[in-house]
Structure formats: structure tokens, C-alpha cells
Structure 1
Amino acid sequence: MKLFISGLFLVLLATGAWGQTPYNAETTYRKLVRDYPFIRIAGSEAPASVQVRKDLVYLQHPGIALGLDLYLPQPGAKPGAKPAPLVILVHGGGWASGDRTGMAPLAARLAARGFAAATVSYRLSGQARYPAAITDVRESVRWLRDNAAGFGIDPARVAISGASAGGQIASLAGMLEPQAIRAVINIDGLSDFTTEEARRHEDDPNKKPSAAGAWFGGRYSEKEASWRAASPITHVGKDSPPLLFIISGVPRFSVGREAMAAKLASFGIASDTVALPGSPHSFWLFDPWVEPTVDAMDAFLRRTLRALP
């Protein structure tokens, strides 16, 4: 019995699943379909022109192997073709749930357009608190750049993107790694945990704890330094990469965006916002919003990475 309980504990710890509904396209569809009866779960199968390398381990922690799935434009499609620019994709789930398959629809479509795309796993809050997830994602950037030649990737043209909690993580990693990351796309993720609006939701005393509180290991009054350090806006500087915000029709999830754009502008760094009016949070999991999301990402990446003809 002790062995069974211990095994169950490890499963719950690894998934962050302490009685909460797992965050994925299927569970989210059931929540949204009543209000959005026209939505469909976006397909994640890669076209024949894309090579998929799954379950590549980029980092080993005691008892935890962190992996990534790599979507590559078909190798050798054109003689003398240049290495592909890379987009690293970070999944959402309130820092406590979700997995990298949630970013597969975006990855498959970006690869079909000529980008290498990597969907990455990281330690969830039930496994390790902040800043573990940030450390993991930064390590994925290093691993992919170190192994770029073997995958036909250009290590000098790397971008990072994420959605919801993954948008915050990706944006923060981009601000912390400006020499390695040339562009950032934040899809409906927070830019500043410390604002009154963000704390109204993320530091709600009725949530015991909130998703952010569980990740930080305490409320804002108890862990203010972590709440501030985890805010991407805190780390904007003269070398920060350009940033694209893609936002839903639910403003609470992109709190801090306007202030961060203004701070980037004060250093002469470009940012842009693409809004999808009327869309729910988690829009990147569903048609009809996947294609406009990929269109916006594609246009921004071509401009910032000078990626493809």
C-alpha cells in the first residue's frame, strides 16, 4: 500500500493534478463550446513536408526528464538551403498543468511555413516552484542552440513564444536572454504580476492558493520580490528583443502589455499587438483562431528574424 500511495503521489506531483481539471484542448473545449458553438479543436498533425522528432530529452533533473518535440522543415528540400530559423514554444496551464502537446498545432503550421519549431516541457508548480520553470526554458534554449547544426537550425535566429502562463514564461526568458533570443511572441500572457489588476485575480484571498501563489510559494505580500522578478516588464532594457503581443478578448490575461510596450519603446525597441476580438482565452487551441495566430507570428518572425524569402 505504501508503494501505491508513493507512486500516486509522484504522478500527482508530476502533473500538478491535485484534483484540478487538466489543462488541454479537450477539457477547454468542453468549457467553451456552449458560448462558442462554432469552435473546433485545431488539428496538430504535421504535413508531409515537416519532419517531427519527438521526446528529445534536453535536461535531466532527479527523477524528471524534460523533453521537447522538434518540428523541422523537410531537410534538403532545396540544394544549398540555409539553416532554418527556430521558434521555441512554451505551453500554458497556470504554471501547474498542461503539457507541450498544447503547442503542437502552432508548431506544425510554423514548420510548414519554413520555421523550425520546438515545443518544450518544463517543471510545473507541483514539481518545483518559481524560478524552476524559467531555468528549464532557458536551458532548452541553450540545448537547442548547442545542437543546432545537427538539426539544420540557425542558432543566430532564435525566437521564443508561449501562451497564457507560457506567454509570461517565454516573455521573461526572452528579456533574460537577449543575446540568444532575437524575438518574443507573448500570446495572452501576463507582463506584470505586480499591478493592481493582475493581483486582483492572481492574489485573490479566496483562492487558497491562486495559480500564481502556488507557483511563487506565497501571496504578493509574502513573496513580493518573486512576483516582481517574474514580471517580464521588470527586465526590459536597451538590449531587449522586439516583442509581439497576440491577445484575446479577455483583457485580464494580458495585463501589463501596454506598460511593457511603452517601456520597450523608451529604449527604441519595437513591439506590436494583434488583437483577436471576441476570442476566448486559449484561442490558440481552436479553429477559427489558429490560422490568424500563425499568420501574425509568421509576419512578425519574417520581419524580426529576416527568416525566409
Structure 2
Amino acid sequence: MSVTTQHLGVRTRDSVRRPRRRPAYPGWFFLPAAIIYGVLFLAPTFASLYFSLTRWTLFNATFIGFDNFVQFFREPFLIQGLINTVIYAAVTSGAKVVLGMLLALLLTSQILGRAYLRSVVFFPVLVSTVGVGITFTVLMHPTQGMINEGLALLGIKGPGWLTDPTLALFSVALVDVWKGLGLATVIYIAGVVAIPKDYFEAARIDGATKVQNFFYVTLPLLRPATNTVIVLSFIGGLRTFDLIWAMTKGGPGFASDTIASVIYKQYQAGFYGLSTAGNVVLFILIGVLVVPLTMMLNRREGHE
């Protein structure tokens, strides 16, 4: 017994003294990536923080403290822009989750032309956002647009998709969903394909229906894909600008303004420090909303 204990003690000491395994790559191997990250992200971020506290032009900058932030929050339509931004992000991310999951289930089933349909669904992701915006602006014209003309053939009077203040933001959100749905679908397809077939075989043996298969097997196992789609879509919705500017420029009036479009309007007016402060506000808003959301989703996934 003592010999065994002594032997184990020696082995334990040897394992403690064993040198650590060296990493596969030396530290300097990551230096180029660190330099690129520092130049393209860290440096502009800290520069923006500084210039948001100044009144600056291309040639000089005068430090004014938090005056830009105070003035930015005094903008009469900023609150509306904040509300529009959150609504837009929630609507687009929610629609992409639901429609992306349904399309993924359809495109992983045994249907004719499955590979072709996958390409069709993903194609809008590859198209220029500005080009999509201009195209749908023409299609959604209240009197000459193809959509309203098609509705007129059915005896339905089409609304002012982009001219009605109550519809403009949601019309742009609909186009955003159409364009970004392909990426969400691809993420869900990868999640569906990764589910082991054993789960479905076990559920079939237990007599589960297709609906029960979906709610008790597919849906829980797609939670990582769902979390990814929610976070990516929500971030994209919060920082959206190009599609809204191409279709409505924040109009009619300020009905479809988001924080990004408000910032751009300040930049157009020559208030560079004010617009930089707006960018900092947008950065903080994304962090305040997305970080807790990500933590909550990861916590729920861990409890599953």
C-alpha cells in the first residue's frame, strides 16, 4: 500500500513538473492581425471619442467637452429616430428568424429543385443595398409602381408605401427582410443539417408527429442558429442607413428617420463634431442593447 502511494506521489510530482505544451503558433504570429485591428478599429474608435468632444473641421479642432452630446439630445426628432431604430431592428430581426427558419426547413426537405431554390433565396444578399433600394422605390411608387398596379388589377387600391408616414418605416423594413433573409436561411440550413438523425429516429419510434418533432426536437436544437440570426440581424437593424437613405431619406418628414440618418443629416449640414457625437451614441446604444441580449440568449442556451 505504501509503495503504491509513494509511486502515485512520484507520478503526481512528475506531472506537476512537466513543462507546459508550447502553443502551436508563436506570439508574434498574431502581430499582423493585431496591427490591422488596431489601425482599422481601435485607432478610429479612440479618434471618434476625442473628436466627439470637439468642434472640428478638416483643419482644426476646438475642445468643447460634452456640448455636442447635449446638443445632439436636444434635436427635436432624435427621440423619434431612437424609437424608429429599435422598432426597425426588432421587426427585421424577428421576421428573419421566423421566415429564415421556415425556409430552411423547406429547403432541407425532399423537394424538387432544392439546390436551385437555395441559390434563389440567397441571391438578394449579393445584390447592392443601394441598388435594391432604388429598385423598390420604383416598384413601390404610389401611382406608377408595379406593386400598386398589380393590386389595382385585383380591384385593390394600393397604399403609399413610402409616402404614408405610418407605412414608410415598415415598407423599408420589408425590403430589408427580403434582402437579408438569404443569410438567415443559410445559417438555419447549416443548423438543420447538423442535427443528428438519431433524434428523429427516436422520436419516430416513440410515435411523435411532425409538429411534435418540430417543437421538441428541431426547435431546441436550432437554438444556436437562432441566437446567431437574432444577434446579427438586430445589430444590422440598429445600424441600418443605406437602405433607408436610398428609399426614403428618412421621410416623409422624419417618419422613417433612424439614428444613422439623423447623424448623416448633421454631417451634411457641416456639424462634424455633432455627427461624431451621434456616432458615439449609436455605438453605445448597440452595446447597451446587444451585449445583454447576447448574454441572455447564451444563458438560456446553457440551461437547455
Range into which the TM-score falls when normalised by the shorter chain? under 0.3
Greater relative contact order (CA < 8 Å, ≥ 6 in sequence): 2
> More helix by proportion, 1 or 2?
2
Q: Which has the larger radius of gyration?
A: 2
TM-score by length of 1: 0.20
